[in-house]
Amino acid sequence: MPAASIDTFFACTLMVLIVLSAMAATSKFLYPQIYAGIGNNLEERYKTLSEYLLLNEGAPANWGQNSATSPETFGLGDSSSNIAYELDIDKVSRLNSENLYAVTYAQMFTSLKISDASFRIEIKPVFQVSIDLVATFVRTSDTIYEFEILTEKHGSAVNAALKCYVVAEHYLWASNTSYNSGNALNLNVSIPNSVNGSALLIVLAKSVSNTKIVSFNAYSFEHNSPMPGSRGTFLRLSPLNYSLTANYLHSETTYSNAYALTFNYYSTMTPVASNNQSATFTVPHFLDLAPTLLVLTGYNATTFFTEWTAYPQVPVQTGADLTNPAILSDVFTFTYLVTINSAMYECSVWMGGPKD
């Protein structure tokens, strides 16, 4: 798909959401009657059920915010919003198995109260950000790292505005806004050699055609350090209800610095509670149509590390394994544009049921 077509697609997505919101109003309130009355049209039944998962807020309506609560009735809708397909940031985060307060598929299936339908849910950015380190230049006082950044959807370039951050030991650098107009963007990052690593590059991107469409990625790299460990080696990060819990995965792990980063704003975070097993931070409410990237630095004994997660905690995929044709009937996929805190994401719902 040429870049012009991608831009046209993004420019139309807001209108699509408005139309879908109007069409969805009935489904949100009349789902049980609609589902029961469809009869043997399996695809239509599953489509109605997939819409209900996204439109209904479930019960209790605030089950996402309360870590001790499991949904009695499953639904991902935001109870504080009147916009259809606006999902609750905490309900979405609790779909992620990395989150300490994640709900299991068994809990979701039981609370949906539909015994003849299995499902799987995936929520991810509408387009992708890829980051590659292409060159390193070591100088006397600093080291320059050259990165190639691509914003694309299905292999086609997406015109996007970019905001970049670099985090290292007691070091935070924020770029000015730059623009990727269809080709790869080459970004040069200079880090003083007095700073110890490893280092983390965060990239947040907004579509130029529709700034509600956002994406992000992160790239961990060496700087005066060995190769950094894989994500999740030292901390388990669990954002919920604008609070971040960081659980230490090793006895010698300690926290050093914490940052909350969005496209237009950033802030340091200080712990509101801490012990030798975890630390808890308040996540700022930024007025920004973008996810908040949460970055923690620290030490495991003498090894410095950076760990990160996103709030909402996407991309996420959860639910049943619907790949076994021996036990399942036809599987249908339904894809929607959804919003979380007014930023747009792509949500796919797979629906299937047992064979007769």
Q: Which domain holds residue 23?
A: 3-123+315-352
Indicate if 287 and 331 belong to the same structural domain: no
CB 167 within 8 A of CB 184: no
pTM, two decimal places? 0.90
For 59, which DSSP code?
B
Structure tokens at 218: 């992160």
Instruction: Residue 141: name the closest of 201, 196, 191 by CA.
Output: 191
Average pLDDT over residues 58-67: 96
CB 210 within 8 A of CB 187: no
Helix (H), strand (E) at residue 53: helix 42-55
Q: How far is 278 from 291, CA to CA, in rounded Å?
A: 24
Indicate if 209 and 239 belong to the same structural domain: yes
Q: Which amino acid is at 356?
A: D
Indicate if 60 and 25 belong to the same structural domain: yes
Q: Which residues contact 82 (CB under 8 A, 6 or more apart)?
A: none
The model's pLDDT over 221-237, given as tens digits with 9 standing for 90+, comes to 999 888 888 999 999 99
pLDDT of res. 22: 42
Q: How far is 332 from 45, CA to CA, in rounded Å?
A: 10
Indicate if 222 and 197 belong to the same structural domain: yes
CA separation, residue 43 to residues 71, 168, 263, 334, 335 (Å): 26, 50, 40, 10, 14
Q: First and final CA of the chain: distance in angstroms?
A: 41
Average pLDDT over residues 8-37: 49
Q: Which amino acid is at 151?
A: T
Indicate if 190 and 335 belong to the same structural domain: no
- Taking only Cα atoms into account, the Rg of the chain, rounded to an integer number of angstroms, comes to 22
Q: How far is 49 from 116, CA to CA, in rounded Å?
A: 11
Task: Identify the burial level of 198 via C-beta atoms within 10 angstroms of its C-beta, where 0-12 means exposed, 13-18 middle and 19 or more buried.
Answer: buried
Structural domain ending residue among the three candidates 278, 295, 311: 311
Number of domains in the chain: 2
Indicate if 21 and 138 belong to the same structural domain: no
CB 235 within 8 A of CB 241: no
The model's pLDDT over 88-130, given as tens digits with 9 standing for 90+, comes to 999 999 999 999 999 999 999 999 988 888 999 999 999 999 9
pLDDT of res. 3: 54
Residue 324 has pLDDT above 50, yes or no: yes
Indicate if 98 and 209 belong to the same structural domain: no
Average pLDDT, the chain: 89
- Split at pLDDT 50, 70, 90, the class of 27 is very low
pLDDT of res. 10: 55
Indicate if 106 and 134 belong to the same structural domain: no
Which CATH number goes with the domain that contains 143? 2.60.40.1930
Indicate if 113 and 132 belong to the same structural domain: no
3-state secondary structure of 29: helix
The model's pLDDT over 250-274, given as tens digits with 9 standing for 90+, comes to 999 999 999 999 999 999 999 999 9
CB 198 within 8 A of CB 218: no
Indicate if 115 and 133 belong to the same structural domain: no
pLDDT of res. 115: 84
Structure tokens at 59: 């019960």
Share of the chain above pLDDT 90, in %: 75
pLDDT of res. 252: 95
Indicate if 22 and 94 belong to the same structural domain: yes
Indicate if 162 and 306 belong to the same structural domain: yes
The model's pLDDT over 278-319, given as tens digits with 9 standing for 90+, comes to 999 999 999 998 999 999 999 999 999 999 999 999 999 999
